[in-house]
Structure 1
Amino acid sequence: MDDLEEKMKACEPLWLQAMDAVRRYNEAKGVLPREEVERLRLEAESLMQAVIEYQQRVLGGLVSTLH
């Protein structure tokens, strides 16, 4: 397995967590209170952003500074 493949596989748990959050958000729409749906949306968005930033770093792209 090459280095890039290993790095991308390392992100798999985060990717699965993000996809689960998106699923929970979509299932909550129209069912749960608006505040809870918004919380789930923010969680899903945050996790997806973390996946994107990780992948950009692995691929050598420009990303904002970590804080």
Structure 2
Amino acid sequence: MKRTILGIIEAGEPLIQQAIEAMRHHREAEVAGKSPDELARLRLLADSLYQAVVDYHPRAIADGSQALH
């Protein structure tokens, strides 16, 4: 199977959707006045999913053919 940029983006789409949803949950919790502990938990989840998205695409494009530092 030939890998294309479009294919890589489509493969990462569920992860992108999860990150967006996590950010939305965090924002809604802020507006609702949730506890600082709950906000911190939701923020950590949103941040980690965002970082996973950022890390996924360069690795998928490189396909192990070059080292990423």
Q: Same fold (TM over 0.5)?
A: yes
Structure 2, unaligned stretches of length 5 or more?
A: none
- In 2, distance between residues paired with 1:14 and 1:8? 10
CA contact (8 A) 1:29 1:37 kept: yes
Report the 3-state secondary structure (helix = DSSP H, G, I; strand = E; otherwise coil) of the residue aligned with 2:26.
helix
Give the C-alpha shift of residue 29 in structure 1: 1.2
In structure 2, which of residues 48, 64, 68 is the aligned counterpart of residue 62 of structure 1? 68
Letter in 2 for 1:6: G
Q: Quick one: which amino acid aligns to residue 9 of structure 2?
A: M
Q: Report the count of equivalent residues.
A: 63
1:14-43 deviations in whole A, cap 9, x for unaligned? 000000000100111151111000000000
Alignment of 1:19-58 (within 5 A): 19-30=20-31, 31-58=33-60
SS of aligned partner of 2:44: helix
Give structure 1 stretches of 5+ with no counterpart. none
Bigger CA radius of gyration: 2
**CA RMSD for the aligned pairs?**
2.0
**Structure with greater helix percent:** 2
Query: Aligned letter for 2:56?
Result: Y
More displaced 10-residue stretch of structure 1: 26-35 or 5-14: 26-35
